[in-house]
Amino acid sequence: MKKLGDKILKNIGGVIVAIVFLVLGLIVGAIYQSKTPVLIDEKIRYSELLNWITTMSIGVIIGYYLKNKYENNKIIKNFLLEDLKNISVQLVTVKSYCFELRSVISFSEEQRKEIISQVNVLDKKITIFLNLLKDCDSSKHLEINETLINGLNSLNKKLTSDGLYENPIQQFYFDEIMSESSKFEGEVRKIMLNIIRNM
């Protein structure tokens, strides 16, 4: 929050400095013009015409390029955020499924397969996100890849530990899953904020 406040203050300071220079420029221009009579040249020189066309063309091209770049960045950011939402939704699905099984004394083979299957779906969603991020921003990919893979591995370790096969299932097995998945959710949200602020 403090960084955001500092950023806003820097932007406001920049605007104030720009306004001060604009006002000074107007004053200096008015003083200079009052002492020098204005002469109107009615001739059009080819060099001036070419200069004017070149300036306009460069302005249009740069404006178009910047607009396209901004639009492309916005689309990519939306794709990345959508992928992160899908990861978050899948995390909640895994957590909810395990929470519903808290009263079970022991897992059936079908329930074990469902837990493993849901972790595999989560893994695929993370892979899709990381592949897109790698194509868009390799430096961000390096820092985010490790966080997501470590979070997935930790959660997978808790889910597929010996507790999955114990009979009866110990209560701490579910507690560890809830704790690990909540921690992983927190990491995913931090990544979302990072992308919103810095991309």
Domain spans in the chain, listed from the N-terminal domain onward:
75-198
Please report the pLDDT score of residue 26 as a whole number: 76
- Distance (Å, whole) CA 97 – CA 118: 9
Q: How far apart are CA 128 and CA 123, in angstroms?
A: 9
- Does this model's pTM top 0.95? no
- Which CA distances in Å does 176 have to 24, 131, 196? 66, 30, 30
43-47, 69-73, 141-145, 150-154: segment of lowest average pLDDT: 43-47
pLDDT, tens digit, 9 for 90 and up, residues 40-95: 556 666 777 777 788 888 877 887 777 777 787 888 899 999 999 999 999 999 99
Contact 124, 150 (CB under 8 A): no
Question: Which residues lie closer than 8 Å to 126 by C-beta, 6 or more apart?
Answer: 87, 148, 149, 152
- Domain 75-198 classification at class level: mainly alpha
On the question of pLDDT at 5 being above 60, the answer is no
Evaluate whether 89 touches 189 at the Cβ level (below 8 Å). Answer: no
- Return the residue matching tokens 């200069």: 51
